[in-house]
Amino acid sequence: MSTATVLAGVPATNLSLYRAIRFKVGDPAALLIVPIAGGATERVLIIRDIEMERAKRHARADRVHCPADFEPAGGLSGDRETATAQSVAECLRRRGVNAVRGDRSLPLIYAHHLLAAGIRVECDPDLGVLERRAKDAEEVAHLREAQSATERAMELACRTVARAACAADGTLVHDGAPLTAEVLRSIIDVALLREGYENPESIVACGAQGADCHDHGHGALRTGEPVIVDIFPRNRRTLYNGDMTRTVVHGAVPPAVAAMHAAVAAAKRDAIAAIRPGVSGDAVHAATLASLAARGFASGQPKETGVAVISHGTGHGIGLEVHEPPLLAPKGPPLVVGDALTVEPGLYALGVGGVRIEDLVVVTPAGCQNLNTLPEGLDWR
Amino acid sequence: MSTATVLAGVPATNLSLYRAIRFKVGDPAALLIVPIAGGATERVLIIRDIEMERAKRHARADRVHCPADFEPAGGLSGDRETATAQSVAECLRRRGVNAVRGDRSLPLIYAHHLLAAGIRVECDPDLGVLERRAKDAEEVAHLREAQSATERAMELACRTVARAACAADGTLVHDGAPLTAEVLRSIIDVALLREGYENPESIVACGAQGADCHDHGHGALRTGEPVIVDIFPRNRRTLYNGDMTRTVVHGAVPPAVAAMHAAVAAAKRDAIAAIRPGVSGDAVHAATLASLAARGFASGQPKETGVAVISHGTGHGIGLEVHEPPLLAPKGPPLVVGDALTVEPGLYALGVGGVRIEDLVVVTPAGCQNLNTLPEGLDWR
């Protein structure tokens, strides 16, 4: 039996395929890792015809073809994705491959056409997962670059809040206009765009809105209330993401918010101290919970007004996707060198709002390295 | 045998799933369309726990669950995607479903866990394809809105080129600085961001660069040369895309470029005149080629300096993805009412560059409606 490995999809959105070939395109493509003589393998990339020359120069593949190079007896479909799947099956058939190992992301249409060509398909759900988790030096450099841009946008955002004027009703004013969540998001977006980043909707959640850890926030920002700012942009060139959170208060910090913040900062420190290869994501999250419990804060959904709890895990893997394995959460797996992780404890209280601090760390042989350098305080004046 | 239909993936990138539920989230989710009594079906959405309340308010589903609601005997994985796939299998097992119809985009990990639970999986490669092609009134409104924003950015871009100053060496100058492809792209990006659009790298290809129809362009823009401007932004709220191209010349238009432009404009008109339900994408492309041939231009790759040819199809479907079925190209299928299509003939000559004009049309019972209103000329002063 001759078995090939197949990754396929649209590289611009199937990041496992993108990572394997390091070549971005918005049309279907497939990477076939095919056995050749002597126990070696050959990497065959099938891609849209007009992308072939660019792919030959830049993609990580030994050979670059287009679907028309592998037209089956019945002809290729006029549908681009179908034709790509047909050509994958025909290419493998010609090479005498009779079984395929697909990764978890393989679109079912590829399995469909492989099976129709008499080629067996098995899913290896672990294929590529550990490989993607263990970031290499180039990827860590991309993450560092992204997090650095994220920090510049964060500093701008927090200072814009902290240095805003304040109207008589307690709402903030920037450049003579109301400083809303929407305005602050736009300031963040433009700053990141100028640095070469696309930026999904940032969280800017003021006061009570922040009690729901996934409310993105809207409307007026107000003095004396915590504003959660969570930014997770993607570098348009490298496709790697940054992700960080700070909480800023304009004016006087309410004592309850100060207490929540002190506990969250300590929990982040304790979680980071727990991170090293072999320790599980579950254990790191337990360290977060123990740290918060020692300061009187429990885990759960915010239910009682004024009672702050942590309502989510400690963090998640990050790389070509903002959310990727592993989780720092119950059942989270053992960490490996190169895992890039957000560490983002938070506390949320109905009627008060939320406090969250999020850094990005990379697991090293001895522990981890924090890619963040910005202060974590509430006061950004 | 009881058969359910399953769509799954990350709604932010699996647009077939997004379209079915109209709910955007960056974590794994699955929609199960399950048979119930009386021949009816029920739509069950499985989604990350913290998204459930928002999904109950906004997602197109009868029931909203999280993976923990369907924990199998062996427990759920600590990996979010694996747990979602396990819960899909367990939910269907509890409902007595023993076969699943998956669409072409279903990630293989879902098939893997369904098969492990004794549930048969078949790919229906046509499932959802025609449904996605036939845009409803709401979708057409989203496309019109996106194309309208694209036109405003295009007008800004073309006027910026046409009204630029010109240095002694023929390079263009804007606001006292060199007007490069990169600067023009940034002007386009910022304008679109302010309208609520993310904008993948626009094509701004001046002179000889434009001869490669997928060269995105770089460096100085020059007077007396065609500049292809191709913009395809995505509305951040609706996720629908615009896509259009104009070609602009600063200063005097070279006669060869004027001839190419006249032929391309006529080809676009002739292609659009051919579009109606039942006509194939293949036939529309043939109309483009016939129109160009009547003016002396052939199809192929640009090979001889100064000889202009068309080197790509006439257009493609567009909606939640910039490129989606059907193609207006060889073997393109019969069109249906609601198909949204780009019509973008172009001519490319080594040493001269390219001329492309692209509109977006929607197929109607009687023909098609053009969503573009901007002029198509080369002179934007």
CA B104 to chain centre: 18
Nearest to B78 among A102, A282, A322 (CB): A282
pLDDT tens, B218-261? Answer: 999 999 999 999 999 999 999 999 999 999 999 999 999 999 99
Nearest CA in chain A to B196: A186
How many angstroms separate the Cα of B54 from the Cα of each of B23, B26, B60?
A: 9, 14, 12
- B146: three-class secondary structure by DSSP: helix
Q: Name the DSSP class of B321.
A: S
- CB–CB contact A50 B214 (8 Å): yes
Nearest to A193 among B108, B121, B190 (CB): B190
pLDDT at residue B212, rounded to an integer:
87
Q: Give A51 to chain B, closest Cα distance, Å.
A: 8
What is the C-alpha to C-alpha distance for residues B271 and A225, in angstroms, rounded to an integer? 59
Longest CA span, chain A? 79
Strands A315-317 and A177-178: unpaired
What is the C-alpha to C-alpha distance for residues A230 and B282, in angstroms, rounded to an integer? 48
State the CB neighbour count (10 A cutoff) for residue B139. 19
pLDDT at residue B1, rounded to an integer:
78
Q: What percent of chain B has a predicted confidence (pLDDT) above 90?
A: 97
Residue with tokens 């001519």: B347
Nearest to A198 among B54, B121, B198 (CB): B198
Interface test with B, best of A76, A104, A339 (most B CBs within 10 A): A104
Contact of B318 with B342, CB cutoff 8 Å: yes
- B181: three-class secondary structure by DSSP: helix
pLDDT at residue B351, rounded to an integer:
93
Q: Name the DSSP class of B67.
A: G
Strands A203-206 and A226-231: antiparallel
- CB–CB contact B312 A50 (8 Å): yes
Radius of gyration in angstroms for the set of CA atoms belonging to chain A, rounded to a whole number: 24
pLDDT tens, B16-63? Answer: 999 999 999 999 999 999 999 998 999 999 999 989 999 999 999 999
- CB–CB contact A78 B104 (8 Å): no
Give first-to-last CA distance, chain B, whole Å.
67
Nearest to B65 by CA among B91, B95, B103, B37: B91
State the CB neighbour count (10 A cutoff) for residue B219. 13
- CB–CB contact A201 B236 (8 Å): yes
pLDDT at residue A269, rounded to an integer:
98
Q: Quick one: residue B251, left, alpha or beta (phi over 0 = left, psi -120 to 50 = alpha)? A: left
Interface test with A, best of B108, B126, B238 (most A CBs within 10 A): B108
What are the structural domains of chain B? 3-127 (3.40.350.10), 135-370 (3.90.230.10)
What is the C-alpha to C-alpha distance for residues A187 and A164, in angstroms, rounded to an integer? 13
Q: Name the DSSP class of B190.
A: H
Q: Is the pLDDT of residue B213 over 80?
A: no
Nearest CA in chain B to A76: B331
Q: Give A201 to chain B, closest Cα distance, Å.
A: 8
The two tokens of residue B45 are 């959405």
Residues β-bridged to residue A130: none
State the CB neighbour count (10 A cutoff) for residue B60. 13
Nearest CA in chain B to A311: B50
Q: Give A92 to chain B, closest Cα distance, Å.
A: 19
Contacts of B279 in chain A (CB under 8 A): none
Nearest CA in chain A to B77: A331
Judged by average pLDDT, the poorest of A168-177, A300-309, B97-106, B318-327 is A300-309
Burial of B83 (0-12, 13-18, 19+ CB in 10 A): buried
Local confidence band at B215 (pLDDT 50, 70, 90 cut-offs)? confident
What is the C-alpha to C-alpha distance for residues B299 and B311, in angstroms, rounded to an integer? 6
Contacts of B326 in chain A (CB under 8 A): 78-79
Q: Quick one: residue B310, left, alpha or beta (phi over 0 = left, psi -120 to 50 = alpha)? A: beta
Mean of pLDDT values over B81-85? 98
Nearest to B123 among A103, A111, A332 (CB): A111
The two tokens of residue B342 are 């780009």
Nearest to B108 among A50, A54, A108 (CB): A108
For chain A, list residues with pLDDT below 50.
none
ipTM for the complex shown: 0.93
pLDDT at residue A213, rounded to an integer:
74
The two tokens of residue B58 are 């906004």
Contacts of A255 (CB under 8 A, 6+ apart): none
Nearest to A334 by CA among A261, A281, A292, A262: A281
pLDDT at residue A115, rounded to an integer:
97
Nearest to A109 among B76, B125, B189 (CB): B125
Burial of A284 (0-12, 13-18, 19+ CB in 10 A): buried
Q: What percent of chain B has a predicted confidence (pLDDT) above 70?
A: 100
Longest CA span, chain B? 79
pLDDT at residue A214, rounded to an integer:
72
As a three-state string, the secondary structure of chain A is CCEEEEEEECCCCCHHHHHHHCCCCCCCEEEEEEECHHHCEEEEEECCHHHHHHHHHHCCCCEEECHHHHCCCCCCCCCHHHHHHHHHHHHHHHCCCCEEEECCCCEHHHHHHHHHCCCEEEECCCCCHHHHHCCCHHHHHHHHHHHHHHHHHHHHHHHHHHCCEECCCCEEEECCEECEHHHHHHHHHHHHHHCCEECCCCEEEEHHHHHCCCCCCCCECECCCEEEEEECCEECCCCCECCEEEEEECCCCCHHHHHHHHHHHHHHHHHHHHCCCCCEHHHHHHHHHHHHHHCCCEECCCCCECCCEECCCCEEECCCCCCEEEEECCCCCECCCCCEEEECCEEEEECCEEEECEEEEEEECCEEEECCCCCCCCCCC
Interface test with B, best of A106, A108, A113, A121 (most B CBs within 10 A): A108
Radius of gyration in angstroms for the set of CA atoms belonging to chain B, rounded to a whole number: 24
Q: Name the DSSP class of B95.
A: T
CA B138 to chain centre: 17
pLDDT at residue B378, rounded to an integer:
98
State the CB neighbour count (10 A cutoff) for residue A1. 6
Q: Give B125 to chain A, closest Cα distance, Å.
A: 6
**Pairs of CB atoms within 8 A across A/B:** 127
pLDDT at residue A144, rounded to an integer:
98
Local confidence band at B335 (pLDDT 50, 70, 90 cut-offs)? very high
What is the C-alpha to C-alpha distance for residues A167 and A21, in angstroms, rounded to an integer? 54
Interface test with B, best of A47, A79, A127, A344 (most B CBs within 10 A): A79
Q: Give B96 to chain A, closest Cα distance, Å.
A: 23
State the CB neighbour count (10 A cutoff) for residue A269. 17
Q: Give B43 to chain A, closest Cα distance, Å.
A: 21
Contacts of B39 (CB under 8 A, 6+ apart): none
H or E stretch at B234: strand B234-235
What is the C-alpha to C-alpha distance for residues B15 and B23, in angstroms, rounded to an integer? 10
Contacts of A168 (CB under 8 A, 6+ apart): none
The two tokens of residue B301 are 């790759």
Q: Is the pLDDT of residue B198 over 90?
A: yes
Alpha helices by DSSP H, chain B: 15-21, 52-58, 80-94, 108-116, 129-133, 137-162, 181-194, 255-274, 281-294
Q: Give A78 to chain B, closest Cα distance, Å.
A: 4
Q: Long-range CB contacts (< 8 A, 24+ apart) of B294-301?
A: B295/B259, B295/B262, B295/B263, B295/B266, B296/B263, B297/B260, B297/B263, B297/B347
pLDDT tens, B127-181? Answer: 999 999 999 999 999 999 999 999 999 999 999 999 999 999 999 999 999 999 9
State the CB neighbour count (10 A cutoff) for residue A254. 16
CA B201 to chain centre: 14
Contact of A150 with A130, CB cutoff 8 Å: no
Nearest CA in chain B to A28: B323
pLDDT tens, A114-138? Answer: 999 999 999 999 999 999 999 999 9
Q: Give A28 to chain B, closest Cα distance, Å.
A: 10
Nearest to B300 by CA among A50, A62, A7: A50
H or E stretch at B328: strand B324-328
pLDDT at residue B178, rounded to an integer:
98
